[in-house]
Structure 1
């Protein structure tokens, strides 16, 4: 079995596998919950292969994904992996929102530690930024959690460049998690350069376009009723035909390269720099092994130029999320001086 290399993520000494494992689909979002024993076996297989960065959140399930990983990490596995979880997404009044007030941050961390059955979270992300709470207030509480030994490293997800700067001034941010792939490139203008200026690692979620860069439009034909991708703009009929062309063009390049479309898409993310860790999700061991092989697909400057010509920043049609979902576009927070507990 080929071992996954390790890299330094951020500037605080956090060392992880160069490719992680997104665990959401094991219990949430992408159809029915998968058999627990199979998912635990998958996590163990990933750890044995050197995929050490496991990514979850309290909102996946909700909560059951953390419970699953807690079971999977029992025994010697815990020493092999780094566990990333998140807080901050709330679902209230039939709408998604975010919370970042200190009381919520602490309560969420304590609850995650209990579900995961661990003493310390390796990296704890604010999943979505609460635009009502100055980021300094949220970060102040996360800093306390670090000082208390409940979390080792701090991360942000879907944060704007200005929010990242303000947060980093309170406590060093080790990683920013963001959607980055051949069809999601809006972060390249401001957010990626800001992370690199500050020495912050980049964790790319949905590097396979939520499966679109693996299977293309045919993936939409078998989505379960509770698969949230069915409601995303990019998978709607008016956009799907446009995005089909993007998939077919990337597939043609992959065929010439002698790899799968998914491996080419993952390799493109890996080639963005040694500060980038993609976390493709899967529920199948064979897909996990295929994803690992993407680490060894070498792209030439001509290959990168060919991909750039078909997958430009605005190549995909349709929004990443449905209306109302908090993203980095809505993540700026009020000034600290405005805070009234």
Structure 2
């Protein structure tokens, strides 16, 4: 039997989207020197031509630069796409700041609309839960954006099942975006099931484990100084060699199934439920096509099962983030993986 995601649309609030969209962060943010504007635009146009409809950005990415990029490149095709962005975490004086106050959310939304060159954002997430502000207040302000016609649907990011339920009681939540991959299983501690129960899409960011589950895994020693993976325990000297050994096993499973490792990893994530949508990011048009090709691939169920046994929250080495970062994230923790 096969279990690829196929071409059947998946639902995010009022929108139908393919099981795989595009995370746009790395075109402007987090992974060292970004591509040139021309290369970034080429990647976005290729994604559109290949049938991607869900494009995911945030005010934080490039401190507004990513929203400007999408606005510049995609504004002319606005009616063809589902445009998602985020508030509640922005760049202030060169620093990342979590701020879920209603007045900040309203200001961030107005700036996002201008950068994105649109009158309405299709899906607007609270990027992080501000522990100084009740989530009901933050979501209440976002609900006002819906009432004003500035936003069509609401989402949360890096939030727990309990927080999802609290937010959903204020205004329907269309999507919950949490990290989910073979090596990050936190959604299995509650949010995957809660999202399904409430009719909420689970949007999986970093489904390829920040490049680890691709044909060219990063060399931690060669990462640029500004690459966020330099500060992630799974990529440090204590843990990375053991994780590479697990990756070698996964690569053999993928090869035996006639798949690339990225295809296997994306098929695994999207097989976790009909409400799961993956948003891998890439700077390579070749990798983009490889990722999207899994929509038409035949994926043996036994390969998915074997992959899940090899790499999971019990076998991965190192937590997702260092403790200081984990304290500002609301998601459930799982096992020694954090």
When normalised by structure 2's length, the TM-score is 0.91
**How far does residue 5 in structure 1 lie from its aligned partner after superposition?**
3.1
Structure 1 Cα separation of the partners of residues 284 and 81 of structure 2: 19
Q: How many residues align?
A: 326
Measured against aligned partners, the alpha-carbon deviations of 1:219-276 in whole angstroms (never above 9, x if no partner) come to 3243222111111111000010111122111111011011111111111112112211
Structure 2 Cα separation of the partners of residues 95 and 262 of structure 1: 33
Which structure 2 residues correspond to residues 1-341 of structure 1 after superposition, within 5 A? 5=7, 7-10=9-12, 12-75=13-76, 77-90=77-90, 96-215=96-215, 218-325=218-325, 326-329=328-331
**How far does residue 218 in structure 1 lie from its aligned partner after superposition?**
4.7
Structure 2 Cα separation of the partners of residues 191 and 210 of structure 1: 21
In the TM superposition, structure 1's runs of 4+ consecutive aligned residues that sit over 4 Å from their partners are 90-97, 215-218
Structure 1 Cα separation of the partners of residues 227 and 218 of structure 2: 15
Q: 1:266 to 1:121 in 2, by over 3 A?
A: same
Measured against aligned partners, the alpha-carbon deviations of 1:155-177 in whole angstroms (never above 9, x if no partner) come to 00000111000100111000000
Once the two structures are overlaid, the 10-residue window that deviates more, 84-93 or 35-44, is 84-93
Structure 2 Cα separation of the partners of residues 92 and 109 of structure 1: 15
> Unpaired segments of 5 or more residues in structure 1?
332-341
**How far does residue 328 in structure 1 lie from its aligned partner after superposition?**
2.3
| Structure 2 residue aligned with 1:336 | none
Kept in 2, the 8 Å contact 1:207–1:269? The answer is yes
Structure 1 Cα separation of the partners of residues 39 and 130 of structure 2: 36
3-state DSSP of counterpart to 2:132: coil
Query: Aligned-pair RMSD on alpha carbons?
Result: 2.0
Kept in 2, the 8 Å contact 1:9–1:202? The answer is no
Structure 2 Cα separation of the partners of residues 20 and 309 of structure 1: 26
Q: 1:299 to 1:281 in 2, by over 3 A?
A: same
3-state DSSP of counterpart to 1:107: helix
3-state DSSP of counterpart to 1:136: helix
> Unpaired segments of 5 or more residues in structure 2?
1-5, 334-338
Q: 1:216 to 1:182 in 2, by over 3 A?
A: farther
Q: 1:81 to 1:299 in 2, by over 3 A?
A: same
Kept in 1, the 8 Å contact 2:121–2:150? The answer is yes
Structure 1 Cα separation of the partners of residues 43 and 217 of structure 2: 27
Measured against aligned partners, the alpha-carbon deviations of 1:269-303 in whole angstroms (never above 9, x if no partner) come to 12112211100101111111000112233333322
Structure 2 Cα separation of the partners of residues 288 and 91 of structure 1: 28
Structure 1 Cα separation of the partners of residues 91 and 288 of structure 2: 31
Q: 1:123 to 1:223 in 2, by over 3 A?
A: same
